[in-house]
């Protein structure tokens, strides 16, 4: 019998039972992909993060991969923040990822600052996705790789969305972001990934790689307060710093134990 250390963390959580839960499972060496995926399915959280030490890597302290219950993802912000919370020893920790390069988590007062790539989008008609999402978006934008943004007129429209998840799932593994000016923050959003096994993601760090640049251009400033209006809810500070986005937030450890294989 093999057992692995297991920590469940609420990331981007400023109060109990908020933020986005992530499992963090440090490994000594990579398990096969099928086992990693099976562990993530068993956890049944939006993401499970796996890490492996990289002592011979001058640029990173750990390798990092993320899995939803059904697929491996190319970038996950909240599970990176959670991994930093579990593993940081000092002021900064660096993760090497397969598709997003080096990601860093730095202590920031009582929370953390997470450095992610800043991504652009371009206007594009997305009528089928907009119909599945619902409401009346006034603009739609796209980034190759499966990222779609829907701009709505106000926060009430975001909160009222009731997507048709079966229709959206048929379009594949896409990250669908609905956003509008916020009512108690600069911006508000909700994020949906039904094709990736997560109908609505509670708080989505990777979405803010796109939302931060989109709103910085629109608002004419680089610092933005963000609220993701899922049932759990979560708050993020967002700063556009050249080709990087710096997200700030707090983490809360909620479960510690062993995962038994």
For the chain, state the CA radius of gyration.
18
Tell me the C-alpha to C-alpha distance, in Å, between residue 155 and each of 47, 132, 164, 170, 196: 27, 19, 20, 27, 26
d(CA 218, CA 81): 27
Catalytic residue among 42, 47, 59, 200: 47
- Determine the Cα–Cα distance for residues 237 and 33; give it in Å rounded to an integer: 34
Rounded CA-CA distance 204/189 in Å is 9
Instruction: Report CA torsion sign: 121, 124, 130, 135.
Output: positive
DSSP state of 168: H
256 belongs to the catalytic site: no
- Catalytic annotation, residues: 47
């Amino acid at each position: 019998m093999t057992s692995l250390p297991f920590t469940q963390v609420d990331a981007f959580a400023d109060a109990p039972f908020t933020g986005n839960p992530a499992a963090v499972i440090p490994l000594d060496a990579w398990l096969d992909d099928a086992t990693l995926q099976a562990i993530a399915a068993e956890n049944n959280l939006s993401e499970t993060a796996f890490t492996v030490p990289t002592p011979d890597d001058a640029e990173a302290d750990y390798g990092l991969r993320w899995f939803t219950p059904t697929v491996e993802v190319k970038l996950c912000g909240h599970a990176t923040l959670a991994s930093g919370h579990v593993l940081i020893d000092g002021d900064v920790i660096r993760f090497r990822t397969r598709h997003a390069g080096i990601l860093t988590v730095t202590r920031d007062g009582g929370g953390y600052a997470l450095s992610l790539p800043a991504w652009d989008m371009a206007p594009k008609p997305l009528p089928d996705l907009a119909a599945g999402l619902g409401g009346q978006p006034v603009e739609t934008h796209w980034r190759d790789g499966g990222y779609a943004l829907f701009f709505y007129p106000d926060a009430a429209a975001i909160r009222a969305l009731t997507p048709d998840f079966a229709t959206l799932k048929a379009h594949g593994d896409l990250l669908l972001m609905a956003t509008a000016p916020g009512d108690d923050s600069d911006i508000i959003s909700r994020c949906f990934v039904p094709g990736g096994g997560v109908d609505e993601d509670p708080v989505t760090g990777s979405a803010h790689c796109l939302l931060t640049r989109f709103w910085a251009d629109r608002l004419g400033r680089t610092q933005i307060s963000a609220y993701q209006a899922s049932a759990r809810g979560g708050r993020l500070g967002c700063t556009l710093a050249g080709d990087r986005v710096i997200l700030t937030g707090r983490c809360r450890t909620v479960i510690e134990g062993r995962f038994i294989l």
